[in-house]
Structure formats: structure tokens, C-alpha cells
Chain A
Amino acid sequence: QHKQLSGVTSGCQQGGCLTCSDYNGCLSCKPRFFMHLERIGMKQIGVCMTSCPPGFFGTRLPERNTCTKCRSECDSCFNKNFCTRCRAGFYLHLGKCLENCPDGLIRSDTQRECV
């Protein structure tokens, strides 16, 4: 019979889990952990992390802390509106990822920034 368990157990062995189940992984996280929904092939499981993986940023909400995706043109960010590293083909300027740099600045492909 499928098990719904709390804390760390077989099938959802993660330190940050508060409750978890074999099929969904973490269902809720301990305080200060972020819930990240990870897709592995056809599966999608909950994972509790102290910090979100690259490409995501942590959002603290009353009901739960979650990892939220950065904008599509952004590889890593503080939040939805402040990128720290752009995807290839985009250039960082004032926290935004631009395809073209403003006048007076040029594109640096190595840093992916307007310099």
C-alpha cells in the first residue's frame, strides 16, 4: 500500500522534507527550505533545497517557499526582474537580458554583458 510519511523515509530520502510520499517525493518542506519541482523523464517529484538550482530563484510565500523559474532568456537570477547571467545570445544590462545593447555599449560574448 502506497505510503504517506513524514520526515526522511525510504523513497523520499531528503533532509529538508517535512512530509513526502513515494510517488510525489516531498509534499512539504521544513522551515527555510525551498520546494523545487524536478522533472525526471515522465516523473515530477518535489525536492526540498536550502537554495534553488541555477535557472531558478527562491520565493518565500506564507503557505510555502518555492523555487521559481527565471525568465527564459536568463540563466540565473535574483528574481523575475533581476538577472545575473543571461542565456547565450543575450547580454546583461541593468539586470535585464537584451539581444542588442544600448547606444554607447557593445556586446561582450564572453561575459554575455553589455560593456
Chain B
Amino acid sequence: LESERPALRAVIKVTLIKEPTGKPIVLEGLFVGGSAGKAEGKLMQYHPLSLCNNSEDDPPESDFITIVKLERTVTSCLPLLDKARMALAKGAQAVIFDISDDDHAAAELPDTDSLPRPVVLVEAEDAEELMGLVNKNEEARVVIEVKMESKWPFD
């Protein structure tokens, strides 16, 4: 049995498009399964219902990163893994799920290697910061990288 792989942490650097040289906001999240990797794009919110079989809309642009705030009260039309795949198939460079209000979400996402690009879970202050930008329609570019955990215990 493959030993349980530790979930890798993601570093999410957010730069406001109106302040391209400003200091990035640095947040953290958790990569889903084997999807850890680098991605970059413009932050774009998707409603949870937009990732269902019968939903279709025009993908915004080429390089965008999808953020979805999951809600407990939305009857899920698809398993979360399929929603992630659908978002990536719509052209997202990566998918960020805000799971602050959906405590079952993390359990729904098995340790899978079948995701072609990064899928990251965020919650609490990190999620609130991201969704705060969305709520104010503050256009932002996001860079997602793997967090390098320091090996040296005294760092």
C-alpha cells in the first residue's frame, strides 16, 4: 500500500493588477493530491453552480485562475473532483477552492494523481483575503508555487 503522501502546501502570491509593482500579498493553501505545481493567472471567481454538467459560459481569457467559494447549502451537482476537472477543462491554469464554509470538501478530494494542473484548498484568513478581493472586484494576478518546507530544524 503506497504510504500516505503528506499534502504539500501551496504559497499563493497575489498582486493587484492596478499595482503591478506593489508588494504581493502572500497566502497559503493545501495542494490536492498530486496536483502540486506552479501556476499563474488572473484571479476569476466561478459560482459553485457554474461547475455543473448543464452549465456553460464563455471562458474569460487564456490565463486565469479559478476561485470557487464552496457553500454547504448548495446541493452539489458533481463530486468536487469532477468540478475541479471541469474548471481546468474550461481553461483555468489552476483552481482554488475556498472550503471555509464546506467542511466536507477536503474529505471529498481523494489523494489523486489525475489532476493535470494545480488544485488548492484555502480556508480561514487566507480564503477571506482572496474572497475579499473578489468581492471588491479588485483584479489581481496570482502565482501559485509549492512551499519549500525548511529541512534545517533551527531555521
User: CB within 8 Å of B: which residues of A?
Assistant: 2, 4, 19, 21-25, 27-28, 35, 37, 39-46, 59, 61, 63-64, 66, 68-69
Contacts and interface: CB of A to CB of B under 8 A. Distances in A.
B54 interface: yes
**Interface SS majority for chain A:** strand
Contacts of A4: 71-73, 101
Interface in B68-91: 69, 71-75, 77
Interface string B41-82: 011111111100011110010000000010111110100000
Contacts, number: 78
A42 B47 contact: no
13 contacts: A2-B101, A21-B101, A23-B69, A23-B135, A27-B48, A28-B74, A37-B50, A39-B60, A42-B43, A43-B45, A44-B45, A63-B75, A68-B54
B137 A43 contact: yes
Contacts of A40: 137
A37 B55 CA distance: 9
Interface string B119-155: 0000000001001001101011000000000000000
A13 B60 CA distance: 26
Interface of B: 42-50, 54-57, 60, 69, 71-75, 77, 98, 100-101, 128, 131, 134-135, 137, 139-140
Contact of B47 (A19, A24, A41): A24
